[in-house]
Amino acid sequence: MNVFLGTSASKGIGIGKAFVIPETVKRVIPRSKIEESSRDEQWGRFEKSLAAVSADISKKMTDSKDNKIQSQLYETYFLMLNDPEFIKELKNAFYSHSLNIEFVLDRQTEKYARHLRSSGNEYLAERAQDICDIFGKVLDDMLDFQPFNIETVPNGVVIVATQLNPSDTIVLSKRKIAGLALTEGGISSHVGILARNYGIPAVFALDNIASQIESGQTVVVDGNNAEVFANPDENSLKEFRKKIEEENSHRLMLEKFRSVEARTKDGERFHIFANIGTVEEAEIALQEGADGIGLFRTEFLFMSQTNSGRSSLFNEEEQFKAYSTVLKTMQGKPVTIRTLDAGGDKLINSPEIHISEEKNPLMGLRAIRLSLENPLQLKTQLRALYRASVYGNLKIMLPLITHVEQVNKTLKIAQTVRNELTAEKIPFNPEVPIGIMVETAAAALTADCLAKVSNFFSIGTNDLTQYTIGVDRENASVAPLYDEFHLGVLRMIQNTITEAEKADIEVSVCGEMAGRQTSVLVLAGMGIRNLSMSPKMICEIKELLSKYTVKELKSISSKQLNSL
């Protein structure tokens, strides 16, 4: 039995015969000089192939309309293919040189992809693969190149490969895939997202895995422990099958928590909300039994638009449509939408928001600081939010607040927006609560001051931890030092809770601590009653809380707070 260690992209255990996807045969892109008289003919060939690939993607988009995430992927591809700015830049590059269209297309695509990869942001880096994938299909059509057909993958197998292109992920919805074992791919990649959505165990970052496993071998993918086993013996298989049965039984048992309130053993009520980054995820949150949306990260809406080749930001109408759709979907349940949290590690490629290179971007012009530097963008977003407010129970949240003055400046812009909407006779809810993220030591220590100008607090434990103890959570060299249970972090959280209670305003936690079982117990014992997490964690956390009394939770947190 061979054991391979990687990174978990989707939990669970899967057993099946390996199907090794062959290494992609690299297409050869010709480079040749062309006469000026042949340019129109070459551009016509490009347009013909572009239309053919667009038609194919459009058909797949229609065929997958019942699968929101899959359909969204094809819609993104369709927008990429037909983005006027990218086509304009390509045409200018082609007609200003004397080189063949295939070479110029390949060069322009790689140029844009390289820009995304060098952004330092995992989300954007994954989008680089998207743009290479889809325009690669245009090149394949132009060159009459026939790559491996993903449709040949049979049911019930473990897919072993160096990588899966995003467009290949249709196989995940068409086949009963037992597991994924890949060398490349990130947790935020389309492959990783879909694997979690379909409940397919997946382990990525497996070094050279496609050359170490042969098709037909029995393979176990253990997404719980980030391990892959090739040719396991019968005793090991028996143990894995037993674990799968236990997981299936537990999953069925958790179903009952979707439709019930979150309560402790002695009846204390908790509100369990969902964190989302797309409009479509609101439906998943509702299905999983969320009490509402505790954090809607709007930056991903902007990223998906501007980083697909489009040059302009989401306009007011597009934002209004997105926000109102989420509010309608949640059927009156509270929806907390965070204003644009761009900058730092979340880059948005748009001339409308200028972000210069910074030595330390995570402490630079980001989040509310960036929005206040671009008041027209902030005003546009607030207009869209207020207009959408009539369709549900909206709350607006401001990110990375460190000073009362930042809140006051935003409230003034919000007042201007309300005055304008009133004058324009556009309906909106003037009583929409505006709260803040507490994710810096400054905010936690001055929570008493901030409570006077905020309608609610939401503690972002990810940034609060790294800013409090001075540890970059993305830096592998200091990763062991990143500790959410550090006494300094817990005291910051406790002070925020205390001041919120004094001011009689709601406080919630929306960072990763809110969705982890060990930290939920500590937070609950400290007095947190509102938790926001990944939708797939909601039933598990409801079940967890049902096993404890408030007294037991207080005892757990007391031990943690009094530890040295």
Structure letter (DSSP) for residue 166: G
CA atoms of 441 and 464, how far apart (whole Å): 7
DSSP H helical segments within 64-189, as ranges?
A: 68-81, 84-95, 101-117, 122-143, 170-174
132 flagged as catalytic: no
Cβ neighbourhood burial of 404 (10 Å; 0-12, 13-18, 19+): middle
Q: Please pick, among 132, 271, 510, 539, the residue that the annotation labels catalytic.
A: 510
* Of 215, 191, 189, nearest in space to 201 by CA: 191
Task: Return the DSSP state at 312.
Answer: S
What are the structure tokens assigned to 312, written together? Answer: 């302009």
DSSP letter (8 states) at residue 351: T
Examine the residue annotation and report whether 449 is marked as an active-site residue of this protein: no
The full DSSP string for 10-73 is E-SEEEEEEEEPPPPPPPP----B--GGGHHHHHHHHHHHHHHHHHHHHHHHHHTTT-HHHHHH
Strands 530-533 and 269-276: parallel
Residue of 132, 190, 271, 539 marked catalytic? 190
Residue 393 bridge partners (DSSP): 334
Contacts of 119 (CB under 8 A, 6+ apart): 125, 347
Distance (Å, rounded) from C-alpha 392 to C-alpha 395? Answer: 10
User: Under DSSP, is residue 296 helix (H, G, I), strand (E, B) or coil?
Assistant: strand
Any idea of the CA torsion for 512, 535, 494, 409, to the nearest 10 degrees?
90
Phi, psi of 294 (to 5 degrees): -90, -20
The DSSP letter of residue 475 is -
Q: How many residues does the chain have?
A: 564
User: Which positions ≥6 away from 49 have C-beta within 8 Å?
Assistant: 138, 139, 141, 142
Catalytic residues: 190, 510
